[in-house]
């Protein structure tokens, strides 16, 4: 068995690149760990110093115990697990508030610091934090985390994590406990807590909303905002703080260059740097670095547009699984490499499937230029408890990722997961409508898909999942909008609940899935190829109809990589291309 200290170097990059502070401390790496299969740890107070807690294992955080890189690699059911780690705060942090951050813990987390309860968080894919200042002591401090998963609960927002012990069909190995980075950072008593940045390319403006933590009305504070592009100063403003929330709109005088300026797109991923400095009496007490992209996503006269121009989206389904880390990439370079490979294969975007991805992945999409459809990890069955859990988590997803220019579409639901009776069940139909309108109420700048694939009602895009492999059938099916929306390729209606097609852009958002064994992995796909030549012929047969159709405005090919028992990727599970990249690229770009 591999011990954690024999694994890769702990993930040490700053975990939150859109809200970056210079002072911080990673506490990834080796933690004490144990299973609690009898669920007695909380009753026996394992979170206390000196408790008789069986922390007899070590784990490499942020890798889940099911993964090889955790050093444990146990795929069996253990729904309650405990972590423990000691740390000391740097001397330079004295007098500041100390905040403990978790990128994601699956599913229900409780955190104690020196025996004091510091945080409780529900939701396996979103971050949480706790101000632990009052719990700290001089010298060594101890963090204890209890994580509880619900492996067999099919109403849990879980994505592709299987509720049976061994992976099968379209479901994969579970992730329990910490699976994204953990870190500490010091902040001033009054500090910036979040920003909401909204570009307006039509007015050459950026709207900036800032939120302060620890703000008191008696504070004499100013906020300095500095915007630059590749080192060139674009704007600088300082405003007096009167409330915990401030809204500021800043014009970008450099922007109108032949009507395009420094717009963000996959072809030209222009980013502006922005610095926030909170000032008291001439002293900077908090400083945060961020960035934004000037871009617009819209539907104009039935055309899906990027920056006010029709834009054909060539997406690939990306599940974000890794052989040794499961949902957690071994390194930041692995995330970057996935973005680079996606672009080399000819795609301008990804549909991140049934996973809220690590913010580092979104950072590389922003930086290198790749569109992202942000899709939630859904439950499989419907219940009132599912609605409560999912609604809360989806709001947290939108809040975390709103500022990323790469995200161009929100996808709360996929293939009626969580609402399996959406065809006839009015409550489930209303839940889909609620998620659509909730998303629009939080973000009116991006398209929202009601239920990707089929059984839609109010939706900004009409999206179809179609694994037909015969070219002539696809060409006939997508010869007109009427034939496309009536086709029912999965024997599911595209619209339900009295809704009908209203001229929305039509995209085939899942298709292909051609199985081709090119490694030691065994598995399946929706259709098959026997060799490289056959693979390219069959790939061209399903992709060409997407370009020849007069109504299709984008596609999403299944899929980027093989995953566990699925071998329908363009790349093997270890990211090796199954055919020459240039040959795949020519097909995917319609050459």
Position 165 confidence tier, pLDDT thresholds 50, 70, 90: confident
Say which CATH class 191-292 falls into: mainly beta
Q: If DSSP codes are grouped into helix, strand and coil, which group holds residue 573?
A: coil
Cβ proximity of 149 and 389 under 8 Å: no
Q: What gap in Å lies between CA 349 and CA 149, rounded to an integer?
A: 32
pLDDT at 413 over 50: yes
Q: What gap in Å lies between CA 82 and CA 40, rounded to an integer?
A: 11
Task: Encode pLDDT of 529-565 as tens digits.
Answer: 889 999 999 999 999 999 999 999 999 999 999 999 9
State how far the alpha carbon of 146 is from the alpha carbons of 111, 124, 143, 581, in Å. 7, 13, 10, 45
pLDDT at 254 over 90: no
* Strand order through the sheet with 313-318: 407-411, 371-375, 349-352, 313-318, 552-558, 506-512, 462-466
Mean pLDDT of 15-38: 97
Terminal C-alpha separation, the chain = 49
User: For position 1, what pLDDT does the model report?
Assistant: 36
Q: Which fold has domain 4-187?
A: Jelly Rolls (2.60.120)
Answer whether CATH 3.40.50.620 is correct for domain 297-588: no
Task: Encode pLDDT of 471-490 as tens digits.
Answer: 999 999 999 999 999 999 99
Mean pLDDT of 240-256: 87
* Alpha-carbon torsion angle 255, 257, 260, 265, nearest 10: -70
> Which H/E stretch holds residue 472?
helix 471-477
Place of tokens 């693979």: 535
β-pair type (25-26, 57-61):
unpaired
Q: Where are the domains of the chain?
A: 4-187, 191-292, 297-588
Task: Encode pLDDT of 90-138 as tens digits.
Answer: 988 988 999 999 999 999 999 999 999 999 999 999 999 999 999 999 8
| Lookup: tokens for 383 | 């219940």
Position 50 confidence tier, pLDDT thresholds 50, 70, 90: confident
């Amino acid at each position: 068995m591999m011990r954690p200290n024999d694994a890769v170097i702990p993930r040490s990059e700053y975990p939150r690149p859109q809200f970056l502070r210079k002072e911080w401390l990673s506490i990834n790496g080796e933690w004490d760990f144990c299973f609690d299969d009898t669920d007695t740890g909380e009753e026996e107070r394992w979170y206390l110093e000196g408790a008789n807690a069986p922390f007899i294992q070590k784990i490499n955080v942020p890798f889940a115990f099911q993964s090889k890189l955790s050093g444990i690699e146990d795929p069996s059911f253990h729904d309650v697990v405990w972590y423990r780690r000691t740390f000391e705060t740097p001397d330079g942090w004295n007098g500041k508030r100390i905040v403990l951050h978790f990128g994601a813990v699956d599913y229900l987390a409780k955190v104690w610091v020196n025996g004091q309860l510091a945080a409780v968080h529900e939701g396996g894919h979103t971050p949480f934090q706790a101000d632990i200042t009052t719990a700290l002591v001089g010298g060594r401090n101890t963090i204890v985390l209890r994580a509880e998963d619900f492996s067999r609960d099919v109403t849990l927002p879980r994505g592709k994590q299987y509720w049976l012990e061994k992976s099968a069909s379209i479901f994969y190995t579970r992730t329990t406990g910490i699976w994204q980075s953990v870190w500490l950072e010091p902040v001033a008593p009054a500090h910036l807590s979040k920003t909401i940045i909204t570009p307006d390319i039509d007015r050459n403006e950026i709207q900036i909303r800032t939120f302060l933590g620890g703000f008191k009305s008696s504070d004499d504070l100013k906020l300095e905002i500095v915007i630059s592009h590749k080192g060139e100063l674009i704007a600088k403003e300082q405003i007096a703080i009167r409330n915990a929330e401030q809204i500021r709109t800043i014009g970008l005088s450099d922007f109108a260059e032949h009507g395009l300026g420094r717009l963000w797109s996959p072809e030209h991923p222009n980013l502006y740097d922005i610095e926030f400095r909170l000032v008291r009496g001439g002293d900077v007490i908090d400083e945060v670095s961020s960035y934004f992209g000037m871009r617009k996503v819209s539907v104009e006269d039935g055309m899906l547009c990027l920056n006010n121009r029709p834009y054909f989206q060539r997406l690939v389904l990306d599940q974000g699984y890794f052989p040794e880390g499961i949902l957690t990439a071994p390194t930041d370079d692995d995330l970057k490499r996935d973005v680079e490979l996606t672009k080399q294969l000819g795609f301008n975007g990804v549909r991140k499937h049934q996973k809220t991805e690590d913010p580092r992945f979104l950072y590389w999409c922003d930086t290198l230029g790749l569109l992202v459809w942000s899709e939630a990890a859904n439950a499989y069955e419907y219940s009132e408890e599912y609605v409560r859990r999912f609604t809360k988590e989806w709001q947290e997803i939108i809040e975390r990722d709103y500022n990323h220019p790469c995200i161009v579409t929100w996808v709360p639901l996929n293939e009626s997961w969580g609402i399996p009776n959406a065809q006839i069940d009015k409550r489930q139909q209303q839940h889909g409508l609620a998620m659509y309108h909730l998303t629009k109420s939080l973000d009116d700048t991006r398209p929202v898909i009601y239920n990707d694939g089929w059984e839609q009602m109010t939706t900004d895009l009409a999206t179809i999942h179609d694994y037909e492999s015969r070219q002539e059938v696809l060409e006939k099916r997508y010869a007109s909008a009427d034939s496309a929306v009536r086709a029912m390729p999965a024997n599911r209606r595209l619209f339900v609940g009295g809704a009908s097609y209203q001229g929305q852009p039509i995209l085939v958002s899942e298709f292909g899935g051609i199985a081709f064994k090119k490694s030691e992995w065994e598995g399946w796909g929706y259709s098959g190829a026997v060799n490289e030549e056959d693979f390219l012929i069959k790939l061209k047969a399903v992709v060409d109809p997407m370009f020849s159709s007069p109504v299709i405005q984008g596609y999403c090919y299944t899929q980027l990589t093989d995953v566990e028992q699925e071998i329908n990727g363009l790349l093997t599970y270890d990211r090796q291309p199954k055919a020459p990249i240039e040959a795949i690229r020519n097909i995917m770009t319609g050459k």
